[in-house]
Structure 1
């Protein structure tokens, strides 16, 4: 049914976006996190150790205003979806508005372990339990998963990003390791395993915080290969986040009637 398809699409985009935003938040932070310029002293020059220190520095900012762009190529068609939102690392709460190029916007609310989506033109929200999706909506678990599956971490160099000098890290994620570490099961796990290695890029500012994260993933379903590149830009830290769960009377549960 068209409504169900639209909702599924919004959920998929929300999953990727929250995984990237939450993936750079930890369950706590330590004072004086080293910046990329002096991190070598504490990490022994190990790029993977440098990557591991980024979440705490980002989490210490408290919250972030971000922008997400998702480009999908599938079956000879290219689609770009983009949006903006805010996220509170401590509350694991945030909001996101997403729209395909030239199309109406859909809304997403993240509240702890739950994610609510409302496609454009609909009055009711659809609720999902993030834990049922292998914890991909849990920032703390995403951090743990990132550290477990990021291989071949290397420093690419220093670059200019929106007028700011940032350190560029690159890494590769093995899909099989991702499935095992995240606890993802069922069709989602099969989709992950169908693709090859997942390249990722992380751009870090002089305070050790993530300023941009990007991944590219390919999956094959029914003989059709799809490639999605998702980029999240961390635009402003320490912003107010007013996101709240919707009124229960306006919410439907995934799988429910």
Structure 2
């Protein structure tokens, strides 16, 4: 009897432990799901506030990459420079790939970015070497997200105001910096309504140009909520073909002073760009 009692006690302990373990596993699963949902909700806020946090960071160095693929052809345009997120101005040196402009080599394009206009030097074959081309992003079909070979870093961040369906992927190492990786889709129309007027007009124009107003993205933020990298994917039609564009912007060296002076009015080209 005593042995049977001990057996029943032992069986009860084992059964109780099994139930407790099952409860812990179940709770852990619920906790993990709840934690993931919380990360996604918090991530949406982090992503949508990207431009605001960059304004607090004031400025940064910038590296851009834009890859275009169509009909089996793929070209990549690269740029580097700096951007002042308070003044909303910056300067990039954009390098075209060989044969992208019908020649073996093409001079790098200097781009001065402002809220209302983009100024480009070495932009067209018929433009004098010492003159600049002025373009208003809001008047371009794509809001200058793709046209000039580099997405304006501030516009890339402002586009994230329209982020939805944000999912937290996890932590990664980006150039020695620990970052949080999020994916989602940015709606151009929604972003245009939340962005400052000049950028909002450009994004509104872009919403009509691409194959739908939704833009998939991957965004990476450091522990201070600063955008470190963002990759947008655009699709648009060109003479019956679909052109796929992946635009990537890297931000680092926060606080670095940025020189981006406007060209003299007498050096702005008034002719037609070829």
Q: Distance in 2 between matches of 1:99 and 1:135?
A: 17
For residues 70-110 of structure 1, give each alpha carbon's deviation from its aligned partner in whole angstroms, at most 9, with x where no partner exists: 01112321101101011111111110111123543111012
Q: Distance in 1 between matches of 2:48 and 2:259?
A: 29
Indicate which of 22, 27, 50 corresponds to 2:46: 50
2:50/2:158 contact within 8 Å kept: no
Say whether 1:191 aligns with 2:187. no
For residues 170-189 of structure 1, give each alpha carbon's deviation from its aligned partner in whole angstroms, at most 9, with x where no partner exists: 11134665688744599855
Decide which structure has the larger Cα Rg and report it: 2
Indicate which of 70, 75, 87 corresponds to 2:71: 75
1:113/1:138 contact within 8 Å kept: no
CA-CA distance at 1:169 after TM superposition: 1.1
CA-CA distance at 1:140 after TM superposition: 7.7
Indicate which of 105, 109, 125 corresponds to 1:106: 109
**1:186/1:140 CA distance change after superposition, 3 Å:** closer
**1:98/1:43 CA distance change after superposition, 3 Å:** same
Partner of 1:63: 59
Any gaps of 5 or more consecutive residues in structure 2?
1-35, 99-104, 146-150, 195-199
Indicate which of 150, 172, 180 corresponds to 1:167: 180
Indicate which of 234, 237, 244 corresponds to 1:227: 244
**1:65/1:172 CA distance change after superposition, 3 Å:** same
Q: Distance in 2 between matches of 1:79 and 1:69?
A: 10
Partner of 2:169: 156
CA-CA distance at 1:132 after TM superposition: 3.5
How many equivalent pairs are there? 214
**1:242/1:72 CA distance change after superposition, 3 Å:** same
Q: Distance in 2 between matches of 1:123 and 1:169?
A: 43
Q: Distance in 2 between matches of 1:170 and 1:92?
A: 26
Say whether 1:212 aligns with 2:229. yes
Equivalent position SS for 1:146: helix
Which moved further from structure 2: 138-147 or 216-225?
A: 138-147
Any gaps of 5 or more consecutive residues in structure 1?
1-39
CA-CA distance at 1:153 after TM superposition: 0.9
| RMSD over aligned Cα atoms | 3.5
Say whether 1:240 aligns with 2:257. yes
Q: Distance in 1 between matches of 2:205 and 2:272?
A: 15
Partner of 2:120: 117
Which structure shows the higher strand fraction? 1
Name the TM-score, length of structure 1 as normaliser: 0.70
Q: Distance in 2 between matches of 1:105 and 1:85?
A: 12
Q: Distance in 1 between matches of 2:248 and 2:233?
A: 9
